[in-house]
Structure 1
Amino acid sequence: MKTLNWNIEEDVFDEYVWDKATAQFWLDTRVPVSNDLSDWRTLSETEKNIINQVVGGLALLDTLQSEEGVNKIRADARTRKEAAVINNFLMMESIHAKSYGTILTSLNENAVIDQVYHWMNNDPQMQYKVRRINEIYQTGDPLQKKVASVFLEGILYYDNFFLPLWYRGQNKLANLSEIIKLIIRDESVHGTYLGYKFQLGFAELNAEEQVAFKIWMDDLLDDLLENEFIFTEKLYAPLDLVDDVKQFIRYNANKSLQNMGFDARFEQATIEEIHPLVKNGISTETANHDFFSQVGAGYLLGNVEAMTADDYDF
């Protein structure tokens, strides 16, 4: 064992992402989700149920990422600083998973929370997602594991992110959506960084290997999207948002592919085509929940700023 010397530069992007990720540190306890109760009580039981399901689904996916995914990816680190960066990612994924529990307990009685956890542990589409991704984490090669992580954080999460942003665009559930926006910023960093590391490894493959890998990746994306769209139809039909959510998913699929150096898959899925309330929810100015450190959705310490589409894309 040799000491990690941070003065030795192996990959300049490692240190850049370390600085970015650590500057963006936050905790769910700083966001008073219970202040959303006045908005929560105005919602129908159907709306409450769907919000609980999207939050519960995120809790399941982030549990997978914090307990399995990040550890598997860290084992393939190309540099020692990369391992340190991924350690930060692991910490934040655990905070994300806890944050969803904070949301559920702040807005619901225990009996309802138990129902949500039972649903997400048994819903066929949710369980298919975690099983499919975890199979790759357990048996895939380093590049396959990075693809699985980028698709999980960059596509599968966003089906569930849509609804809090949609409500925020209507000036509702500000604190719940504040947490979601903080998580989106983290996931944007994670996806960009792992996409970059994927590109380094992919460039080392010969032409034949690259073609074969791209076929595998496209098949995986098709499989995940097929399941995701079934989930979308089931979850969002009562709110008449199915088409809008699918477009949001396609847009984020394009961003995930581009993070890994590939062309966009869906030509019509641009930022302009995203539901205007969701775009408004993304760009709504940050709340300031911590007077001293000024931690909010623009949560660089001491510098509160609005979250824009550029922040969302990282």
Structure 2
Amino acid sequence: MPELLQKAAILNPVNPNKSTALFGGKASGILNWNDLAYPYFYDYREQIRSLFWRASEVDMTQDAKQFPALSKPEQEAFLKIIGLLATLDGPQTDLAARISHFSTDPSVKSIMATIADQESEHNHSYAYVLSSVTTLDKQNESFETGRKDEVLLKRNERIMDVYNEFAHDPSIQTVLKAIVYSSLLEGLFFYSGFAFFYNLARHQKMVGTSTMISYINRDELQHGRFMGDLFRAVLAENPEYNTAEFCNWVYDQFVHAVEQETAWSRYVLGEIDGIDLLEMEGYIQYRANKMLKLLGLSEIYPDYTENPMKWIRAYVDNFDGTKTDFFEQKSRQYTKTSDLNGFDEL
């Protein structure tokens, strides 16, 4: 059985400020951003912190008016996909905190604290969106999707197993596996859901929701990049885990994840006008290739090294440091709303 990691001490001045290892090492707990074991982590800190936003900044007035006019399949998909996203983002706050508890590098702890805060806001944003457009019973029903929908339960089985294994038996091996699934979650599992909202937006529907999703999407891209680099650094420090067996395990998880995401997209998007399911399948494989490269591994879908879903590029391929309306590709001014999500303006 792998040696279990111990929670890192909060403050231990006999240890050096610069950590001796990401996990299982020594560090005083004093964080000096100018003296890091991995100096480029500071760049991640700055990039991730620059993305601060709040759900309540997005005006949902028009979405509240448009939601009743969506087709029945669009309304059902909307509620199920919000339920999926909440199921995935909720545990991410906890996962980031748990990784932080066991890391002996204070810069990782700091970055994970910011990621945990952003994931918490993502989860809040789903409740904010639903409270803007539908009744309380429908909101609660959407949040029950992750507990009751059989397709979603099957889709999430391995995520649950890997995350809970790390929670119960924290080790270098289980934290590596958890980082792999965090990368899958942030770089692949969200994307058929994101595509649904972007597809509504390109038809001038539910633009407020799409704007919110674009902010979440941008955050997740940065989280995924950091997790990829963290994974590679942990493997470099612990080369005994960099084996053919473990690489094959990672590839197997990606193949399984692509299969599950494809099945989910067919299930939830099958009746949605404007989304080609074969194109969606290719896009999922393209996303898998991108996340494998971030982890330092090879692409496994040679037919999808380029994005086959050309229309979505305007929403996800051109993120920069500004908050942007991806219809008009220009900086947008926030319309800040009241605590009633704009209902006072109806």
Fold similarity call, TM over 0.5: yes
Whether 1:64 and 2:98 are equivalent positions in the alignment is: no
Change (3 A) 1:147 1:170: same
CA contact (8 A) 1:247 1:269 kept: yes
- Residue 123 of structure 1 and its aligned partner are, at CA, apart by 1.1
Gaps of 5+ in 1: 292-314
The 2-side partners of 1:53 and 1:243 are apart by 21
Show the counterpart of 2:255. 222
Q: Deviations over 1:256-277 (max 9, x none)?
A: 111111122222224441142x
**How much has 1:248 moved relative to structure 2?**
2.2
- Structure 1 position 93 matched with structure 2 position 128: no
Equivalent position amino acid for 2:287 in 1: N
SS at match of 2:160: helix
Residue in structure 2 matched with residue 152 of structure 1 by the alignment:
185
Question: How far apart are the structure 1 equivalents of 2:232 and 2:195?
Answer: 28
Structure 1 residue 205 displacement after superposition: 4.9
Q: State how far apart, in whole Å, the 2-side matches of 1:150 and 1:211 are.
A: 20
Counterpart residue number, 1:180: 213
Q: Is residue 62 of structure 2 the alignment partner of residue 29 of structure 1?
A: no
Alignment partner of 2:35: what SS?
A: coil
Instruction: Work out whether residues 17 and 193 of structure 1, in 8 Å CA contact, stay in contact via their aligned partners in 2.
Output: yes
Which structure has the bigger radius of gyration?
Answer: 2
- Return the offset for 1:230: 1.9
User: How much does 1:129 deviate?
Assistant: 3.9
Work out the CA distance in 1 between the residues paired with 2:314 and 2:33: 40
Are 2:310 and 1:255 equivalent residues in the alignment? no
The CA RMSD measured in Å over matched residues stands at 2.1
The C-alpha deviation readout for 1:248-299, integer Å capped at 9, x for no partner, is 21121111111111122222224441142x22344432532158xxxxxxxx
1:19 aligned residue (46, 69, 73): 46
Q: Which moved more, 1:253-262 or 1:2-11?
A: 2-11
**What TM-score comes out, normalization by structure 1 length?**
0.84
Which residue identity does 2:291 align to in structure 1? S
1:289 aligns with 2:334: yes
Q: 1:40 corresponds to which letter in structure 2? A: F
Letter of the structure 1 residue corresponding to residue 314 of structure 2 = N
Aligned residues of 1:125 and 1:227 also touching (Cα < 8 A): no
Corresponding position of 2:245: 212
Q: Distance in 1 between matches of 2:191 and 2:229?
A: 21
Is the CA contact (8 Å cut-off) linking 2:86 and 2:143 kept in structure 1?
no
Question: SS state of the match for residue 40, structure 2?
Answer: helix
Q: Deviations over 1:101-133 (max 9, x none)?
A: 111111111232233223332112322344421
* Structure 1 segments of 4+ aligned residues over 6 angstroms from their partners: none
Which of 93, 102, 108 in structure 1 is aligned with 2:128? Answer: 102
How far residue 79 of structure 1 moved from its aligned partner, in angstroms, is 1.9
TM-score under structure 2 length normalisation: 0.77
CA distance in 2, matches of 1:76, 1:135: 19
- Give the 3 Å change call, closer, same or farther, for CA 253–102 of structure 1 in structure 2: same
Q: CA deviation at 1:137?
A: 2.1
C-alpha distance in structure 2 between counterparts of 1:208 and 1:53, whole Å: 38
Residue 209 of structure 1 deviates from its aligned partner by 4.2
1:244 alignment partner AA: E
Deviations 1:216-246 (A, max 9, x none): 1112222222222221221111126322322
Deviation at 1:212, TM superposition (A): 1.0
Whether the aligned pair in 1 keeps the contact of 2:286 and 2:307 (CA below 8 Å) is no
Stretch moving more, 111-120 or 226-235? 111-120
Contact 2:235-2:241 at 8 Å conserved across structures: no
Q: How many angstroms apart in 1 are the aligned matches of 2:117 and 2:67?
A: 30
The residue number in structure 2 matching 1:143 is 176
Residue pair 2:63, 2:209 contacting (<8 A) in 1 also: yes
What is residue 110 of structure 2 aligned with on the other side?
Answer: 84
Q: Distance in 1 between matches of 2:332 and 2:302?
A: 34
2:44, 2:226 → 1: CA distance? Answer: 7
Deviation (angstroms), 1:70: 1.4
Q: Note closer, same or farther for the CA distance 1:191–1:287 as it changes in structure 2 (3 Å cut).
A: same
User: Hey, what's the Cα distance between the residues in 2 that align with 1:73 and 1:125?
Assistant: 29
- Partner SS state of residue 289, structure 1: coil
Report the 3-state secondary structure (helix = DSSP H, G, I; strand = E; otherwise coil) of the residue aligned with 2:333.
Answer: coil
Change (3 A) 1:271 1:250: same
How far has the Cα of 1:39 moved from its partner? Answer: 3.1
Q: 1:34-66 deviations in whole A, cap 9, x for unaligned?
A: 332333243112211111111121011111212
Cα distance in 1 for partners of 2:104, 2:291 equals: 21
Partner-residue secondary structure (3-state), 1:238: coil
When the two structures are aligned, how many residues end up with a matched partner?
A: 289
Higher helix share: 1
